Amino acid sequence: MLSDLTTIDSLAWDALKKALNQRVVVGRIRLLPSKRNRVWVVETDVRPIVVKRFLSGRGGHEFETLMQARLEGLDVPYPLWSDGSHIVTEYVAGDSCELMINHMVSGAAAGAMGTWLARFHSSLSEGNMVKIMGDAVLSNFVFVGDRVYGLDLEDSRLGDPMDDVGQLAANMLGSEPFFTPVKFDLCFQMIGSYGRATGSEVLEKARPYVAKHLRLDARNKPLFRRTLVSAAKSLDRGWPSLA
């Protein structure tokens, strides 16, 4: 039994070797933050890759979703190998959308996330059912050039696409700096981009979903619960005027 969950284990080493199908020279290994799993970026003499050890039991599901997304031409990390408990993917070098939205105030990143979500929903639909990301938060998007890559698809499932839009908008608004006019503008850019990609007007449709996810976020952020709940109540009445 492993006693140190931060250390890359023997099965992960085996997954790494099988994924690259050759002898590799391993350089630096660093652990990435993850709420449920163990994720390492491994520098090799071939390429940097990501090894993900699943504690959630959803490794096979994420690998399958990544394969489906790649086949549809979506920007996701290339899946290299999986044994169900580990997956190995390419490492996508770029800037986290947490940085791009909260610090760089990037309208390009906001719009690109909306477009990515729209393409994900339309490409991975099953009949009248739509597959959603299920964990549409800023940390699961990486900005590369003029587009974004979606990461961490283990929570993807059939559902309501507005849940993804609402969750991402709530995460944008409910992360520091909170609820500023600039944040609302970026949120509107993301939702507008989603609407243009789907050919529909979704700003008003998305509003109750944003309020819903602000309330859900409030449960996990006790220090900001009052702020988040107050903002959700305000959104119940309508979008704020930013003029």
| Domains of the chain and CATH, by start | 10-90 (3.30.200.20), 95-237 (1.10.510.10)
Question: Do residues 114 and 194 lie in contact, with contact meaning Cβ atoms separated by under 8 Å?
Answer: yes
Question: Do residues 202 and 163 lie in contact, with contact meaning Cβ atoms separated by under 8 Å?
Answer: no
Question: Do residues 89 and 77 lie in contact, with contact meaning Cβ atoms separated by under 8 Å?
Answer: yes
Predicted confidence (pLDDT) at residue 102 exceeds the cutoff of 60: yes
Question: Do residues 107 and 148 lie in contact, with contact meaning Cβ atoms separated by under 8 Å?
Answer: no
pLDDT band for position 6 (cuts 50, 70, 90): low
Structure tokens at 74: 């979506």
Question: Do residues 174 and 217 lie in contact, with contact meaning Cβ atoms separated by under 8 Å?
Answer: yes
Question: Do residues 121 and 162 lie in contact, with contact meaning Cβ atoms separated by under 8 Å?
Answer: no
pLDDT band for position 34 (cuts 50, 70, 90): confident
pTM for this one? 0.92
Question: Which of 10-24, 25-39, 103-117, 205-219 is the least confident region?
Answer: 10-24
Distance, in Å, from the CA atom of 223 to the CA atom of 14, rounded to the nearest integer, reads 43
Give 130-171 as a DSSP string: EEE-S---GGGEEEETTEEEE---TT-EEE-HHHHHHHHHHH
Residues contacting residue 26 through CB under 8 Å, at least 6 positions apart: 16, 42, 43, 44
Which residue is listed with tokens 């991402």? Answer: 168
Mean pLDDT of 156-174: 97
**For position 22, what pLDDT does the model report?**
66
Distance, in Å, from the CA atom of 51 to the CA atom of 15, rounded to the nearest integer, reads 8
Predicted confidence (pLDDT) at residue 2 exceeds the cutoff of 60: no
Question: Do residues 120 and 148 lie in contact, with contact meaning Cβ atoms separated by under 8 Å?
Answer: no
For strand 86-90 and strand 130-132, is the pairing parallel, antiparallel, or unpaired? unpaired
Torsion of CA 107, 210, 153, 39, to 10 degrees: 80
